[in-house]
Amino acid sequence: MSLFDMFKRPDINAGIEEFKKSENAILLDVRTSEEYGEGHIEGSVNIPLQSIQNVKIQIPDLNRKIYVHCLSGARSARAASTLKAMGYLDVTNIGGIDSYTGKVVKG
C-alpha cells in the first residue's frame, strides 16, 4: 500500500455492485432519517450513526455481510469501526452516497 492509498476514498459504486452479488447481505445507510428520506439507495436499511448501538435489533446475525455508507464516507467509517467492535465479522465501508451514480428513491 502506498501513501496515496491511505487517502483514497472507498468507491460506493463498486461497493453497491459487490453488495448486489452478495447473498443475504445488508446495505446499511447511517445518515439521519431526514437525509435518508431525501434520497436513498433502494433496498437500504437506515440506522443513523447516533443510533448504531440499536443495530442488533435489526441485524442480530453477527456473521451477516454488511455494506455501510453515509453521505461522504466519514460516518460510515465510524459506523463500520463500531460494528466491528460490537462483534460483527464482515463489515465493509463503501463510502458516501454523494458519489453514487445510480438511482436513488425518496421517502
**CATH code for position 21:** 3.40.250.10
Q: Are 98 and 71 in contact (CB under 8 A)?
A: yes
71 found inside a domain:
yes
The predicted structure's pLDDT at residue 93: 98
Structural domain of 14: 4-99
Query: Which residues are designated catalytic?
Result: 70
The per-residue pLDDT for range 14-42, each reduced to its tens digit, is: 999 999 999 999 999 999 999 999 999 99
Mean pLDDT, rounded, of the chain: 93
106 found inside a domain:
no
72 found inside a domain:
yes
The per-residue pLDDT for range 72-82, each reduced to its tens digit, is: 999 999 999 99
Q: Identify each DSSP E strand in 1-107 by its residue range.
A: 26-29, 45-46, 66-70, 91-96
57 found inside a domain:
yes
The predicted structure's pLDDT at residue 9: 80
The predicted structure's pLDDT at residue 1: 47
pLDDT band of residue 107 (cuts 50, 70, 90) is confident
89 found inside a domain:
yes
